[in-house]
């Protein structure tokens, strides 16, 4: 099989395993909480996703409004469209303008080992939003989900959650404003009450339509989504929000998590809760190309935050898919293709300087900049981002984790 | 429609509402956690149920062994076959003989108002077992189940659980040996961990086969059974059992709850837990006849523990279905039918004296005892049982409930 056939076969296999109806097993992009892949070297067609999922495009007007409200230059991810879509972001901006409370909610399904850069995108952005808005943040580690979906013990799932928390904390969250929890250890009456309320409001047919479960799947797969939805409701955290039950949240997350929050938004008004707002990021492409996202299951597709500067250099040099031409002569004649070049894509995520990025795009497209040089520049930026986090990671201990996990008031007064 | 047609229509309606396959909607008895009814005036055919559910008949040998082991005369309910079936009761008797620990687990779906005598049968018997075996007892109030199945708020479901707890406590449980909890307030990490483990082990198809849910049912109905199963595992209660995770339980319950525990027994070995043992009681018939059990939804079918002596007298006189004949002459000639006579059935449950019961059976069957006299005797016994409980009920306050609900060690050392 050629590369495309291999990919389609993989996509079909994944789709069948996840019970996705046959009509979806075409050359369409696959974006579910369990699989993300595209047959295009440019990656997922996000505009099609917006249409399919029914969310809104992140417009320049919105980014400008954010800039005006906060007086701060928008984050690279906002300036360059990595946060490409949203649901009801205006509701949150209105509340910010009116000085009304809201909170941030994000999370992750704990997996083995060190986090990679793709995992960190939502966390880097969430930290930016926390600093920008100065609001409480809750971070959920769905160790129960991992236990249900993967062949592991509860202890293994919890251990992974603990280790992942350390990497997340290393992004730089403020312990006075951040509550991190794993489901297995946080489960408590107010949280469970919201879970049961969601269970009562969604039918098996609806859950199946949203998540594509089959009869052969364990019941936990139908029961679990409510556990990811419940943190959207502030009453799940009385230690933070006291008796205030009507505080809405903004969820920065990758677009593949949208099914959970579409469900939550359907359910919220029926429970007399606020709908969560969302802001969605694109997927950081795998080194091998934008057809798939970075995935821990293929370590050579990822830059891990535990990678040394040298490992980062070698991985990018060896694996980063190039949009350059086969020979220098050809490259100088035809020019490189930034749209599919992974080194260039990394620079769009991590190079702060808009002018320099524009310059690189021009030079590479014109064939004046060669692949080696482009990779050099990307390596430098990726090393910088990873170094900041991995340096902070060194001082994160079990005790630090306990500080973030402790049931306590945050510094806000609700 | 005549009475039988009305009943069949009601059974069909109930079965359709609960998604039971059409083939079950015959004149067969209906015994599910949500419906119990029979087309026979003698009530449910329990021997058929034993065959259908695959449990074991409670034999005289077993009752005798219990008597020998404990040195106490077996309870009326055991002597007269109200506890007619079991699963692995011998495992528990072996442990009792070997002085190995086990515990009792029973529960109830909280409903509005006062409990009736039908509700109290398992609790009266559980108290007897607690006194007999001197083991810890956990009592679950499934307020989450009631919230999911009925049109009520969480607050209403919790309130009902609290009120029901008072009636249950009035049966005479020992606060040093008994932990009573409602799911909404007890939900905690060790309990949740067992729930998720069960969720992982049972497929949607299996749950549907056991409980008959449909696609239109809320997901909570598929998620809930694990919540009733989890208390079968001692690790759900670390405050009672410490780190001991292998202590089995005996569940005294009505046979309609068996689906939950069949599921638990399937799951237990895969989770490396002990299977729960069970001992099943028959249903206390409604006043109107043994085709249905006492049900709060028809107050005239029940004797409530809040009923006064006079109310009890009037209800039995007015509603208790009689196995006597239409006229005194006919009755004296043909004799009464104890099998369908509700006053007589009540005496089998509540009259201690075996000889007197035998005598009444003879006299009534021979037509020498008239319906009025039989009812008089039944009224006296029911009044006695209710008076004992309602007298105790007077001293049960919110504080008493808190004593039983408090997370604490019981007087046992594990």
Q: Which residue of B has its CA nearest to A150?
A: B200
One-character DSSP codes across B295-364:
-TTSGGG--BTT--HHHHHHHHHHHSPP-S-SSHHHHHHH---TTT-HHHHHHHHH---HHHHHHHHHHH
Counting every residue, how long is chain B? 414
For each of the domains in chain A, give its residue range(s) and CATH number, in order of start: 3-286 (3.40.50.620), 297-393 (1.10.240.10)
Chain B residues within 8 A of A213 when measuring between CB atoms: 204
**Are the beta carbons of B219 and A223 separated by less than 8 Å?**
yes
Picking from B183, B196, B223, the nearest residue to A144 by CB comes out as B196
Q: Does residue A3 have a pLDDT over 70?
A: no
| B210 near A CB under 8 A | no
What are the distances in angstroms from CA A321 to CA A288, A300, A340, A343, A375? Answer: 5, 12, 8, 8, 10
Task: Assess contact for B303 and B116: CB atoms under 8 A.
Answer: yes
Per-residue pLDDT, B407: 97
| B168 near A CB under 8 A | no
Band the pLDDT of B19: cuts 50, 70, 90: very low
Q: Does residue B11 have a pLDDT over 70?
A: no
| A176 near B CB under 8 A | no
Per-residue pLDDT, A36: 81
Question: Would you tell me how many other CB atoms lie within 10 Å of the CB of residue A362?
Answer: 13
Per-residue pLDDT, B246: 86
Per cent of chain B over pLDDT 90 is 79
Q: Distance between the two ends of chain B, CA-based, in angstroms?
A: 59
Per-residue pLDDT, A358: 97
Band the pLDDT of A43: cuts 50, 70, 90: confident
CA distance A113 to chain B (A): 23
Question: What are the residues whose beta carbons fall under 8 Å from the beta carbon of B98, sequence distance 6 or more?
Answer: none
Q: SS3 string of A177-189? A: CEEEEEHHHHCCH
**Are the beta carbons of A202 and B216 separated by less than 8 Å?**
no
Greater confidence, B137 or B244?
B137
Which residues of B71-222 form beta strands (DSSP E)? 83-87, 103-108, 137-141, 178-182
**Are the beta carbons of A193 and B184 separated by less than 8 Å?**
yes
Residues B101-134 pLDDT 10s:
999 999 999 887 889 999 999 999 999 999 999 9
Greater confidence, A44 or B195?
B195
| A296 near B CB under 8 A | no
CA–CA separation, A167 vs A173, rounded Å?
Answer: 11
Note the ipTM here.
0.90
Band the pLDDT of B213: cuts 50, 70, 90: confident
Band the pLDDT of B44: cuts 50, 70, 90: confident
Chain A residues within 8 A of B192 when measuring between CB atoms: 144, 183-184, 187, 192
Instruction: Calculate the CA dihedral of residues A405, A406, A412, A414 and round it to 10 degrees.
Output: 110
Residues A376-390 pLDDT 10s:
999 999 999 999 999
Side-chain half-sphere CA neighbours of B179 within 13 A? 25
Q: Does residue A141 have a pLDDT over 50?
A: yes
Average pLDDT over residues A44-71: 93
Chains A and B form CB pairs within 8 A to the count of: 116
Per-residue pLDDT, A27: 67
Band the pLDDT of A239: cuts 50, 70, 90: very high
| B190 near A CB under 8 A | no
Chain A residues within 8 A of B199 when measuring between CB atoms: 148, 218-220, 223-224
Chain B residues within 8 A of A224 when measuring between CB atoms: 199
DSSP state of A204: H
H or E segment to which residue A140 belongs: strand A137-141
Looking at every residue in chain B, the average pLDDT score rounds to 91
Task: Assess contact for A126 and A394: CB atoms under 8 A.
Answer: no
Average pLDDT over residues A188-206: 97
Q: Which residue of A has its CA nearest to B184?
A: A189
Looking at every residue in chain A, the average pLDDT score rounds to 91
| A260 near B CB under 8 A | no
Question: Looking at chain B from residue 132 to 161, which residues have their Cβ under 8 Å from any Cβ of chain A?
Answer: 144, 147-148, 154
Picking from B147, B203, B208, the nearest residue to A218 by CB comes out as B203
CA distance B374 to chain A (A): 48
**Are the beta carbons of A154 and B216 separated by less than 8 Å?**
no
Average pLDDT over residues A175-201: 98
**Are the beta carbons of B193 and A154 separated by less than 8 Å?**
yes
Secondary structure of chain A: what % helix, strand, coil (to 5)? 55, 10, 35
Per-residue pLDDT, A276: 98
Residues B402-411 pLDDT 10s:
999 999 999 9
Residues A95-124 pLDDT 10s:
999 999 999 999 999 887 889 999 999 999
Band the pLDDT of A142: cuts 50, 70, 90: very high
**Are the beta carbons of B218 and A197 separated by less than 8 Å?**
no
Chain A residues within 8 A of B238 when measuring between CB atoms: none
Per-residue pLDDT, B114: 87
CA distance A312 to chain B (A): 38
Band the pLDDT of B27: cuts 50, 70, 90: low
Residues B64-106 pLDDT 10s:
999 999 999 999 999 999 999 999 999 999 999 999 999 999 9
Lowest mean pLDDT among A109-118, A313-322, B51-60, B220-229: A109-118
Picking from B187, B189, B191, the nearest residue to A185 by CB comes out as B189
Per-residue pLDDT, B358: 97
**Are the beta carbons of A203 and B215 separated by less than 8 Å?**
yes
Name the residue among A223, A203, A181 with its Cα closest to residue A404: A181
CA distance A204 to chain B (A): 5
CA distance A191 to chain B (A): 9
**Are the beta carbons of A204 and B197 separated by less than 8 Å?**
no
Picking from A189, A213, A224, the nearest residue to B204 by CB comes out as A213
Band the pLDDT of A6: cuts 50, 70, 90: very low
Q: Which residue of B has its CA nearest to A223?
A: B223
């Amino acid at each position: 099989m050629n590369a495309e056939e291999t990919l389609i076969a993989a996509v079909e296999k994944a789709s069948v395993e996840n019970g996705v109806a046959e009509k979806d097993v075409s050359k369409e992009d696959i974006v579910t909480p369990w699989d993300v892949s595209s047959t295009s070297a440019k990656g997922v067609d996000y505009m099609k996703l917006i249409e399919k999922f029914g969310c809104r495009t992140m417009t320049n007007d919105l980014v400008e409004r954010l800039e005006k409200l906060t007086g701060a230059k928008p984050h690279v991810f906002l300036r360059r469209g990595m946060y490409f879509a949203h649901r009801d972001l205006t509701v949150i901006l209105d509340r910010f303008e009116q000085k009304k409370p809201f909170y941030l909610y994000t999370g992750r399904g704990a997996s083995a080992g060190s986090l990679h850069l793709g995992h960190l995108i939502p966390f880097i952005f969430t930290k930016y939003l926390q600093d920008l808005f100065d609001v409480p943040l809750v971070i959920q580690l769905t160790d129960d989900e991992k236990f249900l979906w993967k062949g592991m013990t509860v202890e293994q799932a919890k251990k992974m959650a603990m280790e992942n928390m350390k990497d997340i904390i290393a992004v730089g969250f403020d312990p006075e404003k951040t509550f991190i929890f794993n489901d297995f250890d946080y489960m408590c009456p107010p949280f469970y009450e919201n879970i049961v309320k969601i269970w009562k409001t969604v039918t098996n047919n609806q859950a199946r339509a949203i998540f594509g479960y089959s009869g052969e799947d364990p019941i936990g797969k139908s029961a679990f989504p409510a556990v990811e939805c419940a943190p959207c409701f502030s009453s799940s955290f009385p230690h933070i929000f006291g008796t205030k039950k009507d505080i809405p949240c903004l969820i920065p997350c990758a677009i593949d998590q949208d099914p959970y929050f579409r469900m939550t938004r359907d359910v919220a008004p029926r429970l007399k809760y606020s709908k969560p707002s969302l802001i969605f990021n694109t997927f950081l492409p795998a080194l091998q190309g934008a057809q798939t996202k970075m995935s821990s299951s293929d370590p050579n597709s990822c830059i891990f935050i535990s990678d040394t500067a040298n490992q980062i250099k070698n991985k990018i040099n060896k694996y980063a898919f190039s949009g350059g031409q086969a020979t220098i002569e050809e490259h100088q004649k035809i020019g490189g293709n930034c749209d599919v070049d992974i080194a260039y894509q990394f620079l769009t995520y991590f190079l702060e300087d808009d002018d320099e990025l524009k310059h690189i795009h021009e030079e590479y497209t014109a064939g004046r900049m060669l692949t080696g040089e482009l990779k050099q520049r990307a390596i430098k930026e990726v090393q910088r981002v990873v170094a900041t986090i991995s340096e902070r990671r060194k001082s994160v201990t079990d005790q630090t984790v306990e500080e973030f996990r402790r049931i306590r008031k945050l510094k806000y007064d609700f």
